[in-house]
Amino acid sequence: MALRARHPGTSLRVWGRREEALQHLRDRGLADFSSTDAAQTAQGADIAVLCVPVDKLAEVAAAAAPGVGPECAVTDVGSVKANVVAELERIFSPDRNFVGSHPMCGSEAAGLGAARADLYDTALCVVTPTPSSRPEATRVVEDFWRSVGMRTISMPAAAHDRAAAVASHVPHVAAAVLVNLLEDESPEAAAMCAGGFRDTTRVASGSPELWTAILSSNRTEVIAALGKLGASVAAVRGLLEQGDAPALRAFLERAAARRGEIMTPM
């Protein structure tokens, strides 16, 4: 949709698991060619973007690889990078044309009905080239994401996974924990959930299948970040037990100020 809106002359070749989904895309004019055959779909492409859950990326990449030409750049949209990059670089090693990506955008909604053309506008995409990446492939991948309105930064895959654990993965776990916490509370507690609860837990509505794959794939970094979260929660509990209101206020002031800095529009 973003390419159709910004670059209407682009030829789009779309692979999908289900013929019904592909027919929906054809009906909306979003595919010039579509097939359930990944290798056939990849033939003649300048860039191939793999958009499947992280635990399925290697399988789909291997299926597409026979159709990927030597000059075609290949990237993905996975939320975890170290394992993905290692696996897909191996699959595409002859031409060194795979470069990992993580567009930092989206919502808890899933399916074609939730898609929108402006999803990428001004959002950040992390690109994770390695010494094995062909420089031209890296340039094509970065230019592609910029062409749909994104900002890009380059980062090693391992550094990405550490940062994503804190910025994205643990917040999802925390949201799910807060929602499940209500199961042990009175019906009145659920009835009292309003804007604050809604905003804090929005991402908990995301696809359980997708998020199981993400958290499992990045489990080492998520476990480490959860340890830090647990220590922070324990420290706040300690302040409350001690009745240390000044320290509690300082903690909240620091968080309010820091969030303002982090969330300032770019």
Question: 90: Cβ–Cβ under 8 A, 6 or more apart, which residues?
Answer: none
Confidence (pLDDT) at 73: 97
pTM: predicted TM-score of the whole model, two decimal places: 0.91
**pLDDT higher for 46 or 113?**
46
Which pLDDT band holds residue 242 (cuts at 50, 70, 90)? Answer: very high
Which pLDDT band holds residue 237 (cuts at 50, 70, 90)? Answer: very high
Cα separation of 226 and 222, whole Å? Answer: 6
SS3 state of residue 142: helix
Confidence (pLDDT) at 266: 54
pLDDT in tens, 3-27: 999 999 999 999 999 999 899 999 9
Confidence (pLDDT) at 188: 86
Stretch 23-42: mean pLDDT: 94
Q: Are strands 124-128 and 13-15 parallel, antiparallel or unpaired?
A: unpaired
- Structural domains in the chain? 2-155 (3.40.50.720), 160-262 (1.10.3660.10)
pLDDT in tens, 138-182: 999 999 999 999 999 999 999 999 999 999 999 999 999 999 998
Decide if 74 contacts 90 (C-beta within 8 A). Answer: no
pLDDT in tens, 186-230: 888 888 999 999 999 999 999 999 999 999 999 999 999 999 999
Cα separation of 91 and 154, whole Å? Answer: 22
State which amino acid sits at residue 239. L
Decide if 101 contacts 145 (C-beta within 8 A). Answer: yes
**pLDDT higher for 111 or 26?**
26
Residue 254 has pLDDT above 60, yes or no: yes
Decide if 15 contacts 37 (C-beta within 8 A). Answer: yes
